[in-house]
Structure 1
């Protein structure tokens, strides 16, 4: 085949889609605490997306016990040149330590600013605060995720654990047995699958943003 024929063929064939690399910046929920590697959040999410036809790699940037401050400290080297998009799922350990919401908010904003500077779209996954810290704390914590997502044009999911909370509303003891590890804090493999099923469509939107469509 001559050069002209090769050139003509290249012009009519669709360009091959490029693999989209997504870094998942988070804590033990992202890291897959207590689970086999293949049962963790990032592995199950990648499998779910690949099964739906996406050419995607999910990088596990979760660190067990990490706070929003830890995420901010790590975001610079998480956003390597090959990262096309980022999931940010932090705040649970801030809650456990009763860190003031204004501090958590500033850390999350720093993460979003770093992503914006790198030209990387973000899916910001929140959590809902319990009422035991008082209504002002709860309101400030819950509001920071949608407000920051709006300010920085990020995609937003209200709560990482929403599918498990919904299951618990129907049958708390049954949900604990079916979806949670023995510590009652971290999801088991079935619980992660439920979370992935709920988050997956929003990650597909993130992929579309990363691909520029």
Structure 2
């Protein structure tokens, strides 16, 4: 092969090598999984320093366990399932690979008909399904303030929707705060003075309990 041919081969090899390197770099960059946390004040981190909120603590927990993940705080204080439904389309931007849906607490506090809350959650899950975004649905447990029928319908909508859409369910946002018989003591120690929102220590326990489910969500992203 002459000099010209050798030069051409070298250039062609260099171009192929460059293209391969670019593809590898792109693949490496694509490994980061972006998770949006769609929720209310519990997700948003109401009353807490930014670093103590649910999203920063969950992101740190996941990274400590080797997950290449970036979390987006899509929590809005006071939001209901209706608010989540109104925001879901612009929350599901092209870079979002997975989504935690943690809504319904404010619906219960306002006595919203569970059928309405269920329809809103259904719309959120449908939007995620249409975009091929993986979802972890986080449930809430109602008290009996509005009667047994309301509680039954409210509590049931989460497992029923999770089954209908084939998405994993984390039973209750506050599950990590179960402390046996010391309910009153836990409320004082792990909650803010309003008795509704967890403090930083409470969030850490919530994250520790929910973390494995979120890690499974991240790992399910292809």
TM-score by length of 1: 0.91
- CA positional deviation for 1:170: 2.2
Structure 1 portions without partners, runs of 5+? none
The correspondence of residues 13-162 of structure 1 with structure 2, limited to 5 A, is 16=28, 18-162=31-175
Whole-Å separation in 2 of the counterparts to 1:51 and 1:132:
40
Q: TM-score, normalised by structure 2?
A: 0.88
Structure 1 residue matching 2:136: 3-state secondary structure:
strand
Shift of 1:32: 0.2
Instruction: Give how far 1:5 is off.
Output: 9.4
Structure 2 runs not aligned, ≥5 long: 1-9
Residue 129 of structure 1: SS of its match in structure 2? coil
In the alignment, the residues of structure 1 paired with residue 170 and residue 68 of structure 2 have an alpha-carbon distance, to the nearest angstrom, of 23
The residue aligned with 1:190 is 201
Tell me how far apart the structure 2 counterparts of residues 60 and 117 of structure 1 sit (CA, whole Å).
21
Correspondence for 2:191: 180
* Aligned equivalent of 2:4: none
Q: Distance in 2 between matches of 1:160 and 1:5?
A: 50
Deviations 1:179-210 (A, max 9, x none): 11111110000000000001100001111222
